[in-house]
Structure 1
Amino acid sequence: MPALWTHSEKLLLASLSATRLTLLVSAGLPVETQNSSIDERAVEEAAAHEGLDPPTLAGRLAAEKALAVSRRHPERVVLGADQVLECEGEVFHKPVDGAAARAQLMRLSGRRHALHSAGALAIGGQVVEHFLGSAHLTMRPLTEEAVDLYLDLAGPDVLKSVGVYQLEGFGVHLFETVEGDHSTILGLPLLPLLAALRRLGCLAL
Protein backbone atom coordinates (compact mmCIF):
# COMPACT_ATOMS: atom_id res chain seq x y z
CA MET A 1 0.00 0.00 0.00
CA PRO A 2 1.51 3.38 -0.97
CA ALA A 3 2.38 5.77 1.85
CA LEU A 4 0.66 9.14 2.19
CA TRP A 5 3.08 10.52 4.79
CA THR A 6 6.64 10.86 3.50
CA HIS A 7 8.55 12.18 6.53
CA SER A 8 10.68 9.69 8.43
CA GLU A 9 8.97 10.54 11.75
CA LYS A 10 5.29 10.89 12.61
CA LEU A 11 3.73 14.33 12.86
CA LEU A 12 4.06 15.55 16.45
CA LEU A 13 0.98 17.38 17.73
CA ALA A 14 1.84 19.86 20.49
CA SER A 15 -1.46 19.24 22.25
CA LEU A 16 -3.41 16.53 24.04
CA SER A 17 -6.65 17.59 22.32
CA ALA A 18 -8.66 14.50 21.42
CA THR A 19 -10.64 16.47 18.83
CA ARG A 20 -7.55 17.66 16.95
CA LEU A 21 -6.03 14.20 17.12
CA THR A 22 -9.19 12.69 15.63
CA LEU A 23 -9.17 15.20 12.77
CA LEU A 24 -5.57 14.35 11.90
CA VAL A 25 -6.01 10.58 12.15
CA SER A 26 -9.18 10.77 10.05
CA ALA A 27 -7.13 12.49 7.34
CA GLY A 28 -4.74 9.53 7.33
CA LEU A 29 -1.84 11.27 9.08
CA PRO A 30 0.40 9.34 11.49
CA VAL A 31 0.41 11.37 14.70
CA GLU A 32 1.95 11.40 18.13
CA THR A 33 0.98 13.91 20.82
CA GLN A 34 2.85 15.82 23.47
CA ASN A 35 1.67 18.56 25.80
CA SER A 36 3.37 21.87 25.06
CA SER A 37 3.01 22.95 28.72
CA ILE A 38 3.12 26.64 27.81
CA ASP A 39 1.49 29.24 30.08
CA GLU A 40 -1.33 30.33 27.78
CA ARG A 41 -2.53 33.09 30.11
CA ALA A 42 0.97 34.61 30.18
CA VAL A 43 1.10 34.57 26.37
CA GLU A 44 -2.34 36.22 26.23
CA GLU A 45 -1.31 38.92 28.71
CA ALA A 46 1.82 39.72 26.69
CA ALA A 47 -0.27 39.80 23.50
CA ALA A 48 -2.75 42.20 25.13
CA HIS A 49 0.11 44.59 25.97
CA GLU A 50 1.17 44.43 22.32
CA GLY A 51 -2.39 45.14 21.18
CA LEU A 52 -2.72 41.94 19.15
CA ASP A 53 -6.14 41.31 17.62
CA PRO A 54 -7.87 37.94 18.25
CA PRO A 55 -6.77 36.22 14.99
CA THR A 56 -3.16 37.23 15.62
CA LEU A 57 -3.45 36.06 19.23
CA ALA A 58 -4.57 32.63 18.02
CA GLY A 59 -1.53 32.52 15.74
CA ARG A 60 0.81 33.53 18.58
CA LEU A 61 -0.56 30.80 20.85
CA ALA A 62 -0.25 28.17 18.11
CA ALA A 63 3.33 29.21 17.37
CA GLU A 64 4.37 29.17 21.03
CA LYS A 65 2.99 25.65 21.43
CA ALA A 66 4.79 24.41 18.30
CA LEU A 67 8.07 26.03 19.33
CA ALA A 68 7.98 24.66 22.87
CA VAL A 69 7.75 21.08 21.61
CA SER A 70 10.05 21.64 18.61
CA ARG A 71 12.88 22.76 20.90
CA ARG A 72 12.62 19.40 22.66
CA HIS A 73 12.37 17.46 19.38
CA PRO A 74 14.17 19.51 16.70
CA GLU A 75 14.17 16.65 14.18
CA ARG A 76 10.37 16.37 14.15
CA VAL A 77 7.64 18.23 12.26
CA VAL A 78 5.66 19.75 15.13
CA LEU A 79 2.12 21.11 14.85
CA GLY A 80 0.80 23.70 17.28
CA ALA A 81 -2.82 24.85 17.17
CA ASP A 82 -5.06 27.15 19.14
CA GLN A 83 -8.47 28.75 18.93
CA VAL A 84 -9.75 32.13 20.11
CA LEU A 85 -13.41 33.02 20.48
CA GLU A 86 -14.26 36.67 19.84
CA CYS A 87 -17.65 38.26 20.38
CA GLU A 88 -18.09 41.97 19.68
CA GLY A 89 -14.42 42.64 20.40
CA GLU A 90 -14.26 40.58 23.60
CA VAL A 91 -12.05 37.49 23.87
CA PHE A 92 -13.60 34.56 25.73
CA HIS A 93 -11.77 31.83 27.66
CA LYS A 94 -12.63 28.29 28.68
CA PRO A 95 -15.00 28.37 31.67
CA VAL A 96 -13.58 27.10 34.94
CA ASP A 97 -16.83 25.55 36.20
CA GLY A 98 -20.52 25.07 35.47
CA ALA A 99 -21.52 28.50 36.76
CA ALA A 100 -18.98 30.18 34.47
CA ALA A 101 -20.19 28.05 31.54
CA ARG A 102 -23.78 29.10 32.19
CA ALA A 103 -22.82 32.79 32.37
CA GLN A 104 -20.80 32.51 29.16
CA LEU A 105 -23.64 30.92 27.23
CA MET A 106 -26.03 33.62 28.38
CA ARG A 107 -23.57 36.26 27.10
CA LEU A 108 -23.35 34.55 23.70
CA SER A 109 -27.12 34.01 23.49
CA GLY A 110 -28.65 35.74 20.48
CA ARG A 111 -25.28 37.08 19.32
CA ARG A 112 -22.88 36.35 16.47
CA HIS A 113 -19.34 35.39 17.39
CA ALA A 114 -16.17 34.36 15.60
CA LEU A 115 -13.89 31.38 16.11
CA HIS A 116 -10.33 32.04 14.96
CA SER A 117 -8.39 28.76 14.64
CA ALA A 118 -4.67 29.00 13.93
CA GLY A 119 -1.94 26.49 13.30
CA ALA A 120 1.84 26.59 13.13
CA LEU A 121 4.38 24.02 11.95
CA ALA A 122 7.84 24.10 13.48
CA ILE A 123 11.05 22.24 12.62
CA GLY A 124 14.33 22.64 14.46
CA GLY A 125 12.93 25.21 16.87
CA GLN A 126 11.72 27.50 14.06
CA VAL A 127 8.22 28.13 12.73
CA VAL A 128 8.26 27.19 9.05
CA GLU A 129 4.54 27.45 8.23
CA HIS A 130 1.56 29.16 9.80
CA PHE A 131 -2.09 29.37 8.81
CA LEU A 132 -5.45 30.63 10.05
CA GLY A 133 -9.12 29.87 9.53
CA SER A 134 -12.11 31.80 10.87
CA ALA A 135 -15.75 30.81 11.25
CA HIS A 136 -18.77 32.81 12.34
CA LEU A 137 -21.63 31.38 14.37
CA THR A 138 -24.90 32.94 15.49
CA MET A 139 -26.38 31.51 18.64
CA ARG A 140 -30.15 31.34 19.15
CA PRO A 141 -31.69 33.55 21.83
CA LEU A 142 -31.67 31.18 24.80
CA THR A 143 -33.71 31.20 27.99
CA GLU A 144 -32.05 30.38 31.30
CA GLU A 145 -34.07 27.17 31.37
CA ALA A 146 -32.79 26.18 27.92
CA VAL A 147 -29.19 26.82 28.98
CA ASP A 148 -29.63 24.72 32.12
CA LEU A 149 -31.14 21.86 30.11
CA TYR A 150 -28.33 22.02 27.56
CA LEU A 151 -25.62 21.93 30.23
CA ASP A 152 -27.29 18.95 31.92
CA LEU A 153 -27.49 17.08 28.59
CA ALA A 154 -24.00 17.97 27.37
CA GLY A 155 -22.19 17.14 30.61
CA PRO A 156 -18.80 18.31 31.91
CA ASP A 157 -16.99 17.92 28.58
CA VAL A 158 -18.30 21.34 27.51
CA LEU A 159 -15.80 22.90 29.94
CA LYS A 160 -13.06 21.80 27.53
CA SER A 161 -14.43 24.13 24.84
CA VAL A 162 -13.92 27.89 24.79
CA GLY A 163 -17.45 28.36 23.49
CA VAL A 164 -19.02 25.90 25.96
CA TYR A 165 -20.32 23.84 23.07
CA GLN A 166 -19.33 20.94 20.89
CA LEU A 167 -20.99 21.43 17.53
CA GLU A 168 -20.64 17.74 16.72
CA GLY A 169 -22.85 16.91 19.72
CA PHE A 170 -25.62 18.60 21.70
CA GLY A 171 -24.10 22.01 20.91
CA VAL A 172 -25.72 22.00 17.46
CA HIS A 173 -29.06 22.80 19.15
CA LEU A 174 -27.77 26.20 20.25
CA PHE A 175 -27.35 27.77 16.81
CA GLU A 176 -29.29 29.63 14.17
CA THR A 177 -26.49 29.83 11.58
CA VAL A 178 -22.98 28.49 11.15
CA GLU A 179 -20.63 29.99 8.56
CA GLY A 180 -17.27 28.35 8.06
CA ASP A 181 -15.34 25.13 7.62
CA HIS A 182 -16.20 22.37 10.10
CA SER A 183 -12.57 21.62 11.00
CA THR A 184 -11.97 25.30 11.72
CA ILE A 185 -14.89 25.26 14.16
CA LEU A 186 -13.39 22.18 15.81
CA GLY A 187 -10.09 24.01 16.30
CA LEU A 188 -7.82 22.98 13.43
CA PRO A 189 -8.16 24.36 9.86
CA LEU A 190 -7.46 21.09 8.08
CA LEU A 191 -7.27 22.22 4.44
CA PRO A 192 -4.66 24.96 5.11
CA LEU A 193 -2.72 22.47 7.24
CA LEU A 194 -2.61 19.89 4.48
CA ALA A 195 -1.51 22.55 1.99
CA ALA A 196 1.30 23.55 4.35
CA LEU A 197 2.42 19.95 4.77
CA ARG A 198 2.50 19.53 0.99
CA ARG A 199 4.71 22.63 0.70
CA LEU A 200 7.09 21.02 3.18
CA GLY A 201 7.16 17.82 1.14
CA CYS A 202 5.54 15.73 3.87
CA LEU A 203 2.63 14.43 1.82
CA ALA A 204 2.66 12.30 -1.32
CA LEU A 205 -0.88 13.31 -2.29
Structure 2
Amino acid sequence: MGDRTDLPKSTGTVAERGKETEPPSSPIDPPLVLASASPRRLALLEQIGVRPDSVDPADIDETAAAKELPRDLALRLAREKAEAVVDRHQNAFLLSADTVVAVGRRALGKAETAVEARAYLSLLSGRRHQVHTGITLITPAGKRIARVVSTSVIFKALDISEINAYIASDEWHGKAGGYAIQGRAAALIRQIQGSYSNVVGLPLFEVANLLQGNGYPIWTDRE
Protein backbone atom coordinates (compact mmCIF):
# COMPACT_ATOMS: atom_id res chain seq x y z
CA MET A 1 0.00 0.00 0.00
CA GLY A 2 1.24 3.49 -0.78
CA ASP A 3 1.96 6.16 1.77
CA ARG A 4 -1.14 8.32 2.54
CA THR A 5 0.93 11.44 1.94
CA ASP A 6 1.08 10.46 -1.74
CA LEU A 7 -2.66 11.18 -2.18
CA PRO A 8 -3.54 14.49 -3.89
CA LYS A 9 -4.34 17.25 -1.46
CA SER A 10 -7.76 18.92 -1.42
CA THR A 11 -8.00 22.68 -1.75
CA GLY A 12 -10.73 25.14 -0.77
CA THR A 13 -13.00 25.25 2.25
CA VAL A 14 -14.29 22.26 4.19
CA ALA A 15 -17.70 22.70 2.57
CA GLU A 16 -16.16 22.82 -0.88
CA ARG A 17 -14.07 19.75 -0.18
CA GLY A 18 -17.20 17.93 0.97
CA LYS A 19 -18.88 18.69 -2.33
CA GLU A 20 -15.94 17.13 -4.17
CA THR A 21 -16.68 13.72 -2.63
CA GLU A 22 -20.47 13.79 -2.88
CA PRO A 23 -21.95 12.05 -5.92
CA PRO A 24 -23.88 14.40 -8.16
CA SER A 25 -27.59 14.30 -7.51
CA SER A 26 -29.87 13.42 -10.41
CA PRO A 27 -33.61 13.94 -10.60
CA ILE A 28 -35.84 10.89 -10.72
CA ASP A 29 -37.70 10.88 -14.01
CA PRO A 30 -41.43 10.10 -13.96
CA PRO A 31 -41.94 6.44 -14.89
CA LEU A 32 -43.35 5.25 -18.19
CA VAL A 33 -46.27 2.81 -18.11
CA LEU A 34 -47.32 0.85 -21.18
CA ALA A 35 -51.06 0.12 -21.15
CA SER A 36 -50.83 -2.81 -23.55
CA ALA A 37 -50.32 -6.55 -23.21
CA SER A 38 -48.74 -6.80 -26.67
CA PRO A 39 -45.19 -8.20 -26.56
CA ARG A 40 -44.68 -6.70 -30.02
CA ARG A 41 -45.25 -3.16 -28.74
CA LEU A 42 -42.89 -3.72 -25.86
CA ALA A 43 -40.21 -5.04 -28.22
CA LEU A 44 -40.70 -2.10 -30.60
CA LEU A 45 -40.22 0.42 -27.79
CA GLU A 46 -37.08 -1.38 -26.66
CA GLN A 47 -35.83 -1.22 -30.26
CA ILE A 48 -35.52 2.58 -29.89
CA GLY A 49 -34.15 2.38 -26.36
CA VAL A 50 -37.42 3.08 -24.56
CA ARG A 51 -38.00 0.64 -21.71
CA PRO A 52 -41.30 1.07 -19.86
CA ASP A 53 -41.00 0.91 -16.10
CA SER A 54 -44.15 -1.21 -15.96
CA VAL A 55 -46.79 -2.81 -18.18
CA ASP A 56 -50.42 -2.52 -17.14
CA PRO A 57 -52.74 -3.79 -19.90
CA ALA A 58 -56.29 -2.48 -19.93
CA ASP A 59 -59.26 -4.83 -20.13
CA ILE A 60 -61.86 -3.10 -22.28
CA ASP A 61 -64.56 -4.05 -24.76
CA GLU A 62 -63.04 -3.67 -28.23
CA THR A 63 -66.30 -4.04 -30.14
CA ALA A 64 -66.84 -1.38 -32.79
CA ALA A 65 -69.84 0.88 -32.37
CA ALA A 66 -72.53 0.97 -35.06
CA LYS A 67 -71.24 2.75 -38.18
CA GLU A 68 -67.92 3.51 -36.45
CA LEU A 69 -65.11 3.90 -38.98
CA PRO A 70 -61.96 1.80 -38.46
CA ARG A 71 -59.74 4.87 -37.98
CA ASP A 72 -62.12 6.25 -35.35
CA LEU A 73 -62.25 2.84 -33.67
CA ALA A 74 -58.46 2.68 -33.32
CA LEU A 75 -58.37 6.16 -31.79
CA ARG A 76 -61.24 5.48 -29.37
CA LEU A 77 -59.82 2.17 -28.15
CA ALA A 78 -56.40 3.69 -27.52
CA ARG A 79 -58.02 6.45 -25.46
CA GLU A 80 -60.17 4.03 -23.51
CA LYS A 81 -57.20 1.80 -22.72
CA ALA A 82 -55.32 4.77 -21.27
CA GLU A 83 -58.30 6.03 -19.26
CA ALA A 84 -58.97 2.55 -17.88
CA VAL A 85 -55.66 2.41 -15.99
CA VAL A 86 -54.63 6.05 -15.48
CA ASP A 87 -55.96 6.22 -11.91
CA ARG A 88 -53.50 3.48 -10.94
CA HIS A 89 -50.50 5.49 -12.13
CA GLN A 90 -50.25 8.98 -10.72
CA ASN A 91 -47.33 11.22 -11.80
CA ALA A 92 -46.38 8.92 -14.67
CA PHE A 93 -46.26 8.91 -18.45
CA LEU A 94 -48.92 6.50 -19.67
CA LEU A 95 -48.81 5.18 -23.24
CA SER A 96 -51.53 3.11 -24.90
CA ALA A 97 -52.20 1.91 -28.44
CA ASP A 98 -54.63 -0.08 -30.51
CA THR A 99 -54.23 -1.36 -34.06
CA VAL A 100 -57.12 -1.92 -36.48
CA VAL A 101 -56.82 -3.58 -39.89
CA ALA A 102 -59.45 -2.35 -42.32
CA VAL A 103 -60.71 -3.11 -45.80
CA GLY A 104 -62.63 -0.02 -46.79
CA ARG A 105 -65.08 0.76 -43.98
CA ARG A 106 -64.86 -2.76 -42.56
CA ALA A 107 -62.61 -3.41 -39.57
CA LEU A 108 -61.08 -6.88 -39.33
CA GLY A 109 -60.72 -8.15 -35.81
CA LYS A 110 -58.10 -10.40 -34.25
CA ALA A 111 -58.29 -13.85 -35.82
CA GLU A 112 -59.13 -16.43 -33.15
CA THR A 113 -59.87 -19.44 -35.37
CA ALA A 114 -58.34 -20.87 -38.53
CA VAL A 115 -61.65 -20.38 -40.32
CA GLU A 116 -61.64 -16.70 -39.42
CA ALA A 117 -57.98 -16.27 -40.44
CA ARG A 118 -58.62 -18.00 -43.78
CA ALA A 119 -61.55 -15.66 -44.47
CA TYR A 120 -59.41 -12.62 -43.68
CA LEU A 121 -56.55 -13.73 -45.92
CA SER A 122 -58.94 -14.47 -48.77
CA LEU A 123 -60.37 -10.98 -48.39
CA LEU A 124 -56.91 -9.33 -48.31
CA SER A 125 -55.58 -11.33 -51.27
CA GLY A 126 -54.52 -9.15 -54.17
CA ARG A 127 -55.87 -5.93 -52.73
CA ARG A 128 -54.94 -2.86 -50.71
CA HIS A 129 -55.97 -2.44 -47.09
CA GLN A 130 -55.27 0.01 -44.30
CA VAL A 131 -53.65 -0.46 -40.91
CA HIS A 132 -54.64 2.21 -38.39
CA THR A 133 -52.94 2.52 -35.01
CA GLY A 134 -54.36 4.86 -32.42
CA ILE A 135 -51.95 6.06 -29.74
CA THR A 136 -52.67 8.01 -26.56
CA LEU A 137 -50.18 9.59 -24.17
CA ILE A 138 -51.15 10.90 -20.76
CA THR A 139 -48.41 12.99 -19.15
CA PRO A 140 -47.62 13.26 -15.42
CA ALA A 141 -49.44 16.62 -15.46
CA GLY A 142 -52.56 14.95 -16.85
CA LYS A 143 -52.31 16.25 -20.41
CA ARG A 144 -53.91 13.92 -22.97
CA ILE A 145 -52.58 13.66 -26.51
CA ALA A 146 -54.04 11.29 -29.12
CA ARG A 147 -52.93 10.42 -32.64
CA VAL A 148 -53.82 7.99 -35.41
CA VAL A 149 -51.21 6.71 -37.87
CA SER A 150 -52.29 4.88 -41.02
CA THR A 151 -50.31 2.64 -43.34
CA SER A 152 -51.39 1.19 -46.67
CA VAL A 153 -50.56 -2.49 -47.26
CA ILE A 154 -50.93 -4.44 -50.51
CA PHE A 155 -51.02 -8.25 -50.52
CA LYS A 156 -50.09 -10.29 -53.56
CA ALA A 157 -52.81 -12.47 -55.05
CA LEU A 158 -52.69 -15.54 -52.81
CA ASP A 159 -53.25 -19.04 -54.07
CA ILE A 160 -54.80 -21.72 -51.91
CA SER A 161 -51.45 -23.37 -51.14
CA GLU A 162 -50.02 -20.12 -49.75
CA ILE A 163 -53.07 -19.55 -47.59
CA ASN A 164 -52.93 -23.14 -46.33
CA ALA A 165 -49.23 -22.86 -45.50
CA TYR A 166 -49.74 -19.62 -43.61
CA ILE A 167 -52.67 -21.05 -41.67
CA ALA A 168 -50.48 -24.03 -40.75
CA SER A 169 -47.81 -21.69 -39.36
CA ASP A 170 -50.24 -20.51 -36.64
CA GLU A 171 -48.75 -17.01 -36.87
CA TRP A 172 -52.21 -15.61 -37.55
CA HIS A 173 -53.59 -16.42 -34.11
CA GLY A 174 -54.63 -13.31 -32.19
CA LYS A 175 -53.41 -10.98 -34.95
CA ALA A 176 -55.53 -8.15 -36.33
CA GLY A 177 -56.48 -9.05 -39.87
CA GLY A 178 -55.14 -12.58 -39.42
CA TYR A 179 -51.48 -11.91 -40.22
CA ALA A 180 -48.20 -10.65 -38.74
CA ILE A 181 -46.00 -8.66 -41.12
CA GLN A 182 -42.91 -9.35 -39.00
CA GLY A 183 -43.24 -13.08 -39.65
CA ARG A 184 -43.84 -15.31 -42.68
CA ALA A 185 -46.53 -12.99 -44.01
CA ALA A 186 -43.74 -10.66 -45.15
CA ALA A 187 -43.38 -12.97 -48.17
CA LEU A 188 -47.01 -12.33 -49.08
CA ILE A 189 -46.93 -8.53 -48.97
CA ARG A 190 -46.10 -6.79 -52.21
CA GLN A 191 -45.90 -3.22 -50.95
CA ILE A 192 -46.45 -0.96 -47.95
CA GLN A 193 -46.88 2.79 -48.02
CA GLY A 194 -46.13 4.41 -44.70
CA SER A 195 -44.74 3.22 -41.39
CA TYR A 196 -43.64 -0.42 -41.23
CA SER A 197 -43.56 -0.43 -37.42
CA ASN A 198 -47.15 0.83 -37.47
CA VAL A 199 -48.19 -2.42 -39.17
CA VAL A 200 -46.32 -4.40 -36.52
CA GLY A 201 -48.28 -2.54 -33.84
CA LEU A 202 -46.71 0.81 -32.93
CA PRO A 203 -45.58 3.71 -35.17
CA LEU A 204 -42.14 4.36 -33.68
CA PHE A 205 -41.39 7.70 -35.34
CA GLU A 206 -44.64 9.23 -34.11
CA VAL A 207 -44.39 7.67 -30.64
CA ALA A 208 -40.80 8.84 -30.20
CA ASN A 209 -41.71 12.40 -31.16
CA LEU A 210 -44.79 12.34 -28.94
CA LEU A 211 -42.77 11.22 -25.92
CA GLN A 212 -39.87 13.57 -26.57
CA GLY A 213 -42.14 16.53 -27.25
CA ASN A 214 -43.91 16.07 -23.93
CA GLY A 215 -40.90 15.76 -21.69
CA TYR A 216 -39.97 12.08 -21.74
CA PRO A 217 -36.23 11.95 -22.55
CA ILE A 218 -35.90 9.07 -24.99
CA TRP A 219 -32.29 9.98 -25.85
CA THR A 220 -31.19 10.10 -22.20
CA ASP A 221 -30.02 7.12 -20.17
CA ARG A 222 -32.61 6.82 -17.40
CA GLU A 223 -30.78 4.11 -15.47
Give the TM-score normalised by structure 2. Answer: 0.79
2:113 matched to 1:97? yes
Q: 1:54 to 1:69 in 2, by over 3 A?
A: same
Output the CA distance in 2 between the equivalents of 1:82 and 1:34: 14
Q: 1:53 Cα deviation (Å)? A: 2.4
2:55 matched to 1:39? no
Output the CA distance in 2 between the equivalents of 1:122 and 1:74: 10
Letter in 1 for 2:190: E
Output the CA distance in 2 between the equivalents of 1:52 and 1:129: 21
Output the CA distance in 1 between the equivalents of 2:218 and 2:45: 16
Q: 1:127 Cα deviation (Å)? A: 5.3
- Tell me, which stretches of 5 or more residues in structure 1 are unaligned? 1-5
Output the CA distance in 2 between the equivalents of 1:125 and 1:53: 31
Give 1:106-125 correspondences, 5 Å limit: 106-123=122-139
Partner of 2:20: none
Q: Is the 8 A contact 1:120 1:127 kept in 2?
A: no
Output the CA distance in 2 between the equivalents of 1:173 and 1:7: 45
Partner of 1:162: 176
Letter in 1 for 2:62: E
Q: 1:204 to 1:101 in 2, by over 3 A?
A: closer
Q: Is the 8 A contact 1:117 1:132 kept in 2?
A: yes
Output the CA distance in 2 between the equivalents of 1:158 and 1:37: 22
Q: 1:188 to 1:7 in 2, by over 3 A?
A: farther
Partner of 1:76: 92
Partner of 1:3: none
Partner of 1:199: 213
Identical-residue share of aligned pairs (%): 31
Q: 1:10 Cα deviation (Å)? A: 2.9
- Relative to its length, the structure with more helix (as a share) is 1
SS at the partner of 1:40?
A: coil
Q: 1:92 to 1:176 in 2, by over 3 A?
A: same
Aligned Cα RMSD in Å? 1.9
Larger Rg: 2
Q: Is the 8 A contact 2:101 2:132 kept in 1?
A: yes
Residue-by-residue CA offset, 1:55-107 (whole Å, 9 max, x unaligned): 12111110110111112212221111001111122111112211111111111
Q: 1:124 Cα deviation (Å)? A: 6.2
Output the CA distance in 1 between the equivalents of 2:153 and 2:178: 13
Residue-by-residue CA offset, 1:140-169 (whole Å, 9 max, x unaligned): 1112222001221x32x4212112221121
2:202 matched to 1:188? yes
Residue-by-residue CA offset, 1:11-37 (whole Å, 9 max, x unaligned): 111011000000111111121211111
Letter in 2 for 1:195: N
Q: In the comparison of the two structures, how many residue pairs are matched?
A: 192
Q: Is the 8 A contact 1:78 1:122 kept in 2?
A: yes
Output the CA distance in 2 between the equivalents of 1:39 and 1:33: 19
Q: Is the 8 A contact 2:112 2:174 kept in 1?
A: no
Q: Whose RCO is larger (CA < 8 A, sep 6+)?
A: 1
Give the TM-score normalised by structure 1. Answer: 0.86
Partner of 1:67: 83
- Tell me, which stretches of 5 or more residues in structure 2 are unaligned? 1-26
Partner of 1:16: 37
